[in-house]
Amino acid sequence: MSVLLVHSSSRIAGSFSREYAERLANGLAGEGGAVVTRDLLATSVPHLSSAMVFAIFTPDEALTEADRAELALSDELIAELLAADTIVIGVPTYNFTIPSSLKAWIDHVARRGKTFRYKDNAPVGLAAGRTAYLVRTTGGIEIDGPMDFATSYLKAILGFIGITDMHVLAIGKLAFGDEAVAASRAAAEAVISEMVVAGHPHMS
């Protein structure tokens, strides 16, 4: 199994999403698998520039060298995504939604003709056949509750590019003190083990 592990927390030491996303990615990859890490804090993905948007909307055959240079990072991120059969994303909640670093990554990988296209006026996801795992952490909001705009958004955008097989490892209440954190960790331990076993049907 080939796993792409995406980190989007701006914390390094003590980051829950990094800790559990890494463990899940390694568990899913197993002995013979490979994990490729894309750390959006270590190497930030820029906001879309005007030149890049122009290049995105230019047909391949009309692209200049300068346009291709604008698309180079997007091409690299898309190739990294499509090379994986499993994607694990660590997703803390920032102001009710995903970190902006992760949104910038999405703006680079959701590209017409590369990860989606339109057929008969309907979108077709070109990244189908992959499985995504979201390691969702929150300080206080309820994961999948009315104030959680991150989980539903990620389900929508990953589904749009064809990744509809999606699992959520929910680790909440991290701002509610030691007891709450311990309970959230205990719950996560059970789910992560189940996810790893379910991700390897031959082990169950």
Binding site for ligand FMN (CB under 6 A): 9, 11, 15-18, 92-96, 137-141, 174
**Residue 181 Cβ vs ligand FMN, minimum distance, rounded to whole Å:** 10
Contact 112, 120 (CB under 8 A): no
Q: Select 10 or 49, whichever has its Cβ closest to ligand FMN.
A: 10
Give the burial class of 42: count Cβ atoms within 10 A of its Cβ; 0-12 exposed, 13-18 middle, 19 or more buried: exposed
Q: Select 93 or 131, whichever has its Cβ closest to ligand FMN.
A: 93
**How many CB atoms lie under 10 A from the CB of residue 179?**
9
**Residue 92 Cβ vs ligand FMN, minimum distance, rounded to whole Å:** 3
**Residue 186 Cβ vs ligand FMN, minimum distance, rounded to whole Å:** 17
Q: Select 141 or 166, whichever has its Cβ closest to ligand FMN.
A: 141
Q: Select 11 or 117, whichever has its Cβ closest to ligand FMN.
A: 11
Please give the full DSSP string across 96-164, using - where no structure is assigned. Answer: TB--HHHHHHHHHH--BTTTEEEETTEEEESSTT-EEEEEEE-SSSPTTSTT-HHHHHHHHHHHHTT--
**Residue 7 Cβ vs ligand FMN, minimum distance, rounded to whole Å:** 8
